[in-house]
């Protein structure tokens, strides 16, 4: 034991570096993602806090639930369905809006903060390449946050449904109508599709651009991310009296081609058939956006390699 310990301590730094370099890339990527979650707790704390506020509001308003259900029963079938489903649609909308803001703020700060606090010197000493680091950071808004939002949204809607059922049973009313009018499985599928298609794939160039700015800007990354886009809009309007670039930005932020159908349809279960994954995947805007996102991330990798601490 002592011999092995002595040999380990006497091993050269080059030998230890080679041993670390033999760690599989998948494992290094996994721990890079874990690092992002450790350092950026708002990724999950913000949606959890919003979900807790929604559940608190539902609990406070539960005393009026029986009256609301009786009033909904006096409506027509379609209006009754919309009235009962509306709170659950609001849950999905509120959580997706929250996590979009979180993803934007995270992307703006992901590569800038490590240069600002000079921790980039430590992270660069580890056997993790710049490409793997940038890919791990890009995976957070594109993959991790949408999946996390989906899980929190489904759990929140389920807790709301169970709470409402308990309140109705306590007032002597049955909860059968409530469960029939709130198809949780179908709504969950729509939320998952929207998060993967829009918040993951369609918004990828937005996150790529923000990560690029984060790797380049010395300060006020938000202004450097927004002002060039505004300048293009103003110059186009003055020079050509058109607003094509502004329309493109609005189209991207609002959900865009194919995915926009889900945004317009809302999250009502009876609109499930309006989802068109085939049309979304075949839209040129999606693939142009993914190509731009790839270019932005490649540039961010290059900048991280040459940029030092602030």
Instruction: Name the pTM for this structure.
Output: 0.81
CA neighbor of 246 nearest in space, from 10, 275, 254, 276: 254
- pLDDT (tens, 9 = 90+) of the chain, 310 residues, equals 444 444 434 444 454 455 455 778 888 888 888 888 888 899 999 999 999 999 888 887 766 655 555 555 555 555 666 667 788 888 889 999 999 999 999 999 999 888 888 888 887 887 788 899 999 999 999 999 999 999 999 999 998 888 877 776 665 555 566 666 677 888 888 889 989 988 999 999 999 999 999 999 888 889 999 999 999 999 999 998 889 999 989 888 887 644 444 444 444 434 433 456 777 788 888 899 999 999 999 999 999 888 777 6
Q: What is the pLDDT of residue 79?
A: 65
Q: Can you tell me whether residue 258 is helix, strand or coil?
A: coil
Q: How do the domains of the chain map onto residue ranges?
A: 24-306
Give the CA distances from residue 259 to residues 270, 275, 290, in Å, rounded to whole numbers and listed in that order: 17, 8, 15
């Amino acid at each position: 034991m002592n011999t092995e310990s002595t040999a380990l301590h006497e091993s050269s730094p080059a030998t230890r570096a080679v041993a670390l370099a033999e760690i599989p890339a998948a494992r290094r990527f996994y721990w890079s993602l874990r690092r992002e979650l450790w350092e950026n707790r708002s990724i999950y704390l913000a949606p959890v806090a919003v979900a807790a506020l929604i559940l608190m509001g539902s609990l406070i308003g539960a005393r009026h639930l029986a009256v609301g259900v009786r009033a909904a029963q006096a409506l027509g079938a379609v209006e009754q369905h919309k009235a009962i489903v509306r709170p659950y649609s609001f849950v999905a909308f509120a959580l997706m809006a929250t996590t979009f803001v979180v993803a934007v703020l995270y992307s703006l700060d992901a590569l800038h903060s490590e240069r600002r606090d000079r921790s980039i010197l430590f992270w660069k000493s580890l056997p993790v390449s710049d490409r793997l680091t940038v890919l791990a950071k890009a995976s957070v808004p594109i993959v991790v946050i949408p999946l996390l939002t989906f899980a929190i949204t489904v759990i929140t809607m389920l807790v709301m449904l169970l709470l409402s059922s308990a309140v109705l049973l306590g007032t002597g009313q049955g909860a059968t109508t409530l469960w029939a009018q709130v198809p949780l499985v179908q709504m969950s599928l729509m939320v998952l599709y929207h998060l993967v298609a829009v918040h993951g794939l369609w918004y990828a160039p937005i996150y790529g651009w923000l990560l690029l700015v984060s790797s380049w800007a010395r300060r006020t990354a938000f202004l450097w991310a927004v002002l060039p886009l505004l300048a293009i809009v103003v110059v186009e309007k003055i020079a050509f009296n058109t607003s094509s670039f502004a329309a493109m930005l609005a189209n991207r932020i609002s959900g865009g081609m194919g995915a926009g159908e889900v945004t317009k349809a809302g999250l009502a279960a009876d609109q499930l058939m309006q989802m068109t994954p085939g049309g979304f995947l075949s839209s040129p805007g999606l693939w142009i956006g993914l190509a731009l996102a790839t270019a932005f991330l490649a540039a961010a990798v290059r900048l991280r390699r040459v940029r030092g601490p602030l």
